[in-house]
């Protein structure tokens, strides 16, 4: 064996075993520091379950007005770049409405602001109503004119009727074909003023009342404000009392 090699081996052999063990432990600790840092960094990200819960709770509140059994599924969000959040505010993006496949925003307010968007699949199984037969424009409706159907209420057109009693005292604003879903926009209160119809205008003041005739300039339900053009061409605003009477309080 070369002399240099013998000297180096002799030097190693002279180092106490406890010192070698201490240096090995120190080296192992240095090697573990990066791994510990990675674990700490992973622990400092937002838990996706909290975002999912916030979005689900928000959608449940939005669906509460529909008479049926709601079902909500949230796609797992990516949170690897999101800091832990103490206060979350879910919301619907501008222009977004409830529909079977939709986006929900979750905004973090503190301690670090961020916004995450998740995809949701929603449905509400329930009953809605369609026309049992063809309904002519202006025809008065009753629950007997409706036929029940089962389906996803979220997928229906806006304003679809889910309560048959909602048509009581209403007339069809236009023709509704048999089997067509009944919508609130296709109904008009039987006591509503119709645009272009002639109405009586009662102007009431303290101790007096003046009546005249005019023409309604828009559709309006009882209790709503409508503009009326008088026989002399003046436009006045009054409260609808019934289909033929508008009252002005002076």
pLDDT at 5: 47
C-beta neighbour count of 219 within 10 angstroms: 17
pTM of the model: 0.64
Mean pLDDT computed over 108-127: 95
Three-state SS for 87?
A: strand
pLDDT at 54: 97
- 26 dihedral zone (left: phi>0; alpha: psi -120 to 50; beta): alpha
| CA-to-CA separations, 225 to 171, 194, 243, 244, in angstroms, rounded | 20, 13, 13, 14
Mean pLDDT computed over 24-38: 48
Quickly state the pLDDT bin for 113 (edges 50, 70, 90).
Answer: very high
Check whether 221 has a pLDDT greater than 80: yes
Is there a contact between 172 and 183 (Cβ–Cβ < 8 Å)? Answer: no
CA distance 139 to 173: 8
Task: Assign a CATH topology to domain 198-249.
Answer: SH3 type barrels. (2.30.30)
80: which 2 tokens? 């690897």
Instruction: Return the closest-CA partner of residue 156 out of 73, 61, 65.
Output: 65
7-16, 36-45, 85-94: range with highest mean pLDDT = 85-94
Domains of the chain: which residue ranges? 48-124, 126-189, 198-249
Task: Assign a CATH topology to domain 126-189.
Answer: Type Iii Antifreeze Protein Isoform Hplc 12 (3.90.1210)
Check whether 90 has a pLDDT greater than 50: yes
C-beta neighbour count of 124 within 10 angstroms: 23
């Amino acid at each position: 064996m070369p002399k240099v090699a013998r000297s180096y081996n002799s030097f190693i052999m002279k180092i106490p075993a406890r010192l070698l063990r201490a240096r090995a432990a120190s080296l192992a600790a240095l090697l573990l520091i990066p791994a510990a840092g990675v674990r700490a960094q992973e622990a400092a990200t937002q838990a996706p379950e909290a975002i999912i819960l916030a979005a689900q709770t928000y959608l449940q509140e939005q669906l509460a007005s529909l008479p049926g059994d709601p079902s909500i599924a949230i796609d797992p969000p990516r949170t690897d770049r999101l800091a832990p959040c103490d206060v979350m505010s879910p919301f619907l993006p501008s222009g977004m409405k409830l529909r079977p496949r939709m986006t929900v925003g979750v905004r973090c307010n503190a301690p670090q602001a961020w916004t995450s968007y998740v995809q949701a699949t929603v449905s509400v199984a329930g009953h809605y109503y369609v026309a049992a037969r063809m309904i002519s424009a202006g025809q008065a409706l009753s629950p007997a004119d409706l036929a029940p159907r089962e389906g996803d209420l979220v997928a229906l057109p806006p304003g679809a009727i889910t309560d048959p009693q909602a048509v009581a005292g209403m007339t069809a604003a236009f023709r509704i074909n048999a089997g067509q879903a009944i919508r609130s926009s296709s109904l008009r209160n039987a006591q509503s003023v119709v645009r272009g119809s002639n109405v009586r205008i009662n102007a009431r003041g303290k101790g007096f009342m003046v009546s005249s005739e005019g023409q309604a300039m828009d559709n309006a339900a009882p209790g709503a404000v409508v503009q009326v053009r008088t026989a002399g061409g003046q436009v006045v605003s009054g409260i609808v009392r019934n289909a033929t009477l508008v009252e002005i309080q002076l």
